[in-house]
């Protein structure tokens, strides 16, 4: 996977330019960190084509205050530029639904669909119950679901309100495993679970997603310490990207500065 992009993000009344370029190997596990507003979310927008980098598909942009697409009528501004390539293929040339089927996102505040728990885990209804229960065990949800009166046939309330925020995240995690997507993005996905559960999930990620490319966006730095590489975002750019060991050994690294700020 490769990105070559430059695009504007609307943040209040100020438009800031993001310049981000990097290459990833297939199956690589990348931790992404940075202070609030560093540009972590903009990576997701480009990957999911919420921001179009191909000028022919513009001028749709994201308003960070609302999260909605808006249209830029100022023709004097530079258009978005750049590409996101997966296996050498520019994703702007691929059908949007196909791009998004290839990518799973586990957001910080997920919303579940109205329907059964089984449907929320296996939207395509391609897996048998044995496989679903196996995955529930992997995500530390087997005991919880087995205690529900209707178990997999439990009806999910609107927005998933009958499950806690942490449980909704774990259900999305299970969905990503069952859907077998090639790229998995975890956006603060374990922020509301306890440290012990977080550690178990990180272990599961390394085992279950061994051949998947995984982005883990996190404020909790210990969550990404076992990544193959860590990408530190700052001011809309990749400040540095290297192995955790190399970044920690460099006292002047931006990553060490983040560690220091958290410990203070």
153-177 exposure pattern, b = at least 16 Cβ within 10 A, e = fewer: ebebeeebeebeebbbbbbbbbbbb
Q: How far apart are CA 120 and CA 135, in angstroms?
A: 13
DSSP 239: E
Say which residues have a Cβ less than 8 Å from residue 204's Cβ, sequence separation at least 6: 138, 139
Average pLDDT rounded to a whole number, residues 49-59: 55
Distances in Å between the Cα of 3 and the Cα atoms of 82, 86, 171, 194, 244 are 7, 9, 29, 34, 21
Domains defined for the chain, CATH in brackets: 112-180 (3.40.50.300)
Whole-number average pLDDT of the chain: 76
User: 8 versus 248: which is more confidently predicted?
Assistant: 248
Q: Tell the residue number behind the tokens 């942490």, with chain if given.
A: 166
Average pLDDT rounded to a whole number, residues 139-148: 92
Q: Is the pLDDT of residue 146 over 90?
A: yes
Q: What is the pLDDT of residues 167-186, one digit of tens each?
A: 888 888 898 889 888 888 88
């Amino acid at each position: 996977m490769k990105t070559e992009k430059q695009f504007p993000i609307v943040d209040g009344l100020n438009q800031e330019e993001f310049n981000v370029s990097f290459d990833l190997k297939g199956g690589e596990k990348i931790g992404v960190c940075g202070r609030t507003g560093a540009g972590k979310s903009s990576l997701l927008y480009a990957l999911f084509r919420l921001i179009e980098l191909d000028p022919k598909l513009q001028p749709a942009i994201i308003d960070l205050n609302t999260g909605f697409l808006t249209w830029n009528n100022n023709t004097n501004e530079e258009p978005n530029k750049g590409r996101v390539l997966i296996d050498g293929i520019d994703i702007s040339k691929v059908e949007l639904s196909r791009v998004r089927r290839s990518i799973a996102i586990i957001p910080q505040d997920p919303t579940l669909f109205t329907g059964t728990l089984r449907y929320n885990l296996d939207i395509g209804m391609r897996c048998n119950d044995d496989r679903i229960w196996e995955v529930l065990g992997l995500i530390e949800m087997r005991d919880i679901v087995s205690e529900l009166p209707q178990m997999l046939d439990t009806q999910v309330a609107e927005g998933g309100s009958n499950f806690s925020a942490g449980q909704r995240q774990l259900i999305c995690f299970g969905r990503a495993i069952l859907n077998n997507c090639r790229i998995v993005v975890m956006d603060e996905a374990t922020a509301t679970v306890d440290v012990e559960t977080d550690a178990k999930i990180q272990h599961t990620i390394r085992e279950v997603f061994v051949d998947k490319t995984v982005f883990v966006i996190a404020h909790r730095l210990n969550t990404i310490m076992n990544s193959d590489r860590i990408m530190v975002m700052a001011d809309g750019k990749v400040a540095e990207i290297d192995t955790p060991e190399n970044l920690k050994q460099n006292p002047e690294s931006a990553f060490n500065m983040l560690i220091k700020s958290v410990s203070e």
